[in-house]
Chain A
Amino acid sequence: MSGTPSRTRTDWTGFSTILIRETGRIVRIWGQTILPPAVTSTLYFVIFGSLIGRRVGQVGGHGYMQFIAPGLIMMSVIQNSYGNVVSSFFGAKFGKHIEELLVSPLPNWLIVLGYVMGGVIRGFLVGTVVTIVSLFFTRLGVAHPFAIVAAAVLTSLVFALGGFINAMFAKNFDQISWFPTFVLTPLTYLGGVFYSITMLPTWAFRASHLNPILYMVSAFRYGFLNTSDVDLRLAFGIMIAAAAGMFALAVILMNRGAGIRD
């Protein structure tokens, strides 16, 4: 805006500093960020995959363990992208260190993007850990690597943005746990992580199509298993539209400064 040639470079330095700080935070508190999903996903694989899965048999032409593995990876990506941004940004608001960024010349959209990419980094790290865990229990072929990466990145963008928006509105810690408990977790469980929606009665099958998480999980699973419960173009269209719309909303909220600027 100043017209100085180095504006882009200083912006990049600022943005990458947010990434360094967010990554530093993830690593510093790894016992809260990386370890829990590794533990819970192991439990899921043992209980649902090995013990119960043996009696379920095939789902959509695949072993049950193979079927739920992509779903569990995606579930951890969703929860962790979301959780990282909501707690980091709300913490910054609560502890007032968001002011370090507000006084700096970094534009608002880059602040949003910095926090959101922090969430994507956490989603990626945890997704990788859960993938490694899953390989102890099942074999995962890679049918469409591009679909895997695109679905994972887009999903984690959407939920990182969701975390940001939640943190913007939240006035206390209760208000950052409300959304994950009452919306995120139910939608994830009902989004075809543990079952194929073709197993559902007609009304539930139809209702499931209103659940955005269904599209994300299905697109991701398609990348591994080459089968999908939904139309893939629609799935990616929904993810791109959601990410773009939520990014715009987050920047608008940031510009207004509701809850962070008196």
Chain B
Amino acid sequence: MQALVLRQLTKIYKNGIKALQGIDLDVPQGDFFALLGPNGAGKTTAIGIVTSLVTKTSGTVEVFGHDLDRELEVAKSCIGVVPQEVNFNQFESVETIVVNQAGFYGIPRRLARQRAETYLKELQLWDRRHSTARSLSGGMKRRLMIARALMHKPELLILDEPTAGVDIEVRRSMWEFLRHLNAEGTTIILTTHYLEEAESLCRHVAIIDRGRIIERDSMANVLRKLQTETFVFNVRAALAAPPRIDGFPAKLGDDHTLEVEVAKGQSLNDIFAALSAQGIEVDSMRNKVNRLEELFIRLVDAGGRAEGAAK
């Protein structure tokens, strides 16, 4: 069973911005999934469409097999969402906010009160239950939105940049909470522009950039791909087949170019040695930049800057 299936999902905003350019995505039930991408990539737009806050231009969305166009109410009751920006009534009390949200999902009030106690305690907000939401700190507001999203026990929890602007300690405890929730069976999708966050939490990752999914794999595979660089060697004499270079996967570009994958820590000298030994003469060499790598550098830069700014 897939928790979420997106097919050719497209969004063009009224101002003409193409926020999503036909994305396909499958998230299996029980997964802990990261939608990773830089600012403006289209993460919030995608989440918005799945949660009915944004109208799609075209494409389909299925939540646990329920098509949003045909079974909207059922699909909606399967989802809990923690938005990127605060969106509760700042003048209401913490408890009122979560109890009412349960009510909107049809949870009777008595049951809602019991659940409110459970979740507010788990998220360390119980002592503040009578405070108005506006008096909470940033981290508490975020936790309040998590509690609110869980009140109807959704099978799929979607968090849009849950730890942006939250200090390290709170971030760690939030991660712990989410891990636990996932272990209990809730499918979790989070968007982030911190690679570290995706890395430490998620099993699968889709990388989105400029409205397109450019990579969809297990976290481990993506990390491995990020750890390797491709070097392109121009060779003097035409090659019929790629030469064997121990420890380095190689393939031909055309008969005068050779592409070799190099993992971090491997030495280029070994390649030159192997090529000389086989009598292959190298004219020039360059580093082939792949899009994932390029994006990764941007992500790390942006993350670094954001962390820097927070200090």
Contacts and interface: CB of A to CB of B under 8 A. Distances in A.
Interface string A83-123: 00000000110011101111111110000000000000000
B100 A104 contact: no
A129 B231 CA distance: 82
B30 interface: no
A9 interface: yes
Contacts of B76: 103-105
Chain A CB count within 10 A is highest, among B83, B87, B103, for B103
B88 interface: yes
A234 interface: no
B65 to A, nearest CB: 12
Contact of A20 (B52, B89, B103): B103
Nearest to A8: B106
Contacts of A17: 100, 103-104, 109
Interface string A25-67: 0001000000000000000000000000000000000000000
Given A97-B88, A103-B79, A2 B74 contact: yes
Nearest to A17: B103
B89 A95 contact: yes
Given A13-B106, A96-B85, A262 B48 contact: yes
B91 to A, nearest CB: 7
Interface string B134-155: 0000000000000010000000
B210 to A, nearest CB: 18
Given A100-B88, A105-B76, A105-B105, A21 B55 contact: no
Interface in A185-228: none
Interface in A122-179: none
A12 B106 CA distance: 7
Nearest to A98: B87
B26 interface: no
B100 A261 contact: no
B52 A102 contact: yes
Contacts of B77: 105
A24 interface: yes
A183 interface: no
A96 B85 CA distance: 9
A6 B106 CA distance: 9
Contact of A13 (B55, B71, B73, B107): B107
A261 B106 contact: no
Contacts of A18: 104
A262 B55 contact: yes
Contacts of A100: 87-88, 100-101, 104, 148
A104 B77 CA distance: 7
Contacts of B79: 103
Interface string B35-75: 00000000000001001111100000000000000011110
B247 interface: no
Contacts of A11: 106
Interface residues of B, number: 36
Given A95-B89, A100-B88, A103-B52, A21 B100 contact: yes
A261 B51 CA distance: 11
B96 interface: yes
A97 B87 contact: yes
Contacts of A107: 73
Nearest to B101: A100
A92 B92 CA distance: 12
Interface string B13-26: 11000000000000
B90 interface: yes
Contacts of B51: 103
Given A95-B90, A107-B73, A262 B100 contact: no
Contacts of B74: 1-2, 105
Contacts of A10: 105-106
B81 interface: yes
B108 interface: yes
A71 interface: no
B105 A99 contact: no
A14 interface: yes
B47 to A, nearest CB: 11
A24 B72 CA distance: 29
Given A105-B73, A261-B54, A14 B104 contact: yes
A102 B53 contact: yes
Nearest to B79: A103
A18 to B, nearest CB: 8
Nearest to B152: A104
Contact of A1 (B71, B90, B103, B148): B71
A13 B89 contact: no
7 contacts: A10-B105, A13-B103, A16-B103, A97-B87, A97-B89, A100-B100, A100-B148
Interface of A: 1-2, 6-7, 9-11, 13-14, 16-18, 20-21, 24, 28, 91-92, 95-97, 99-107, 257, 261-262
4 cross-chain pairs, A with B, having the tightest CB-CB distances, nearest first? A10-B106, A17-B103, A104-B104, A96-B87
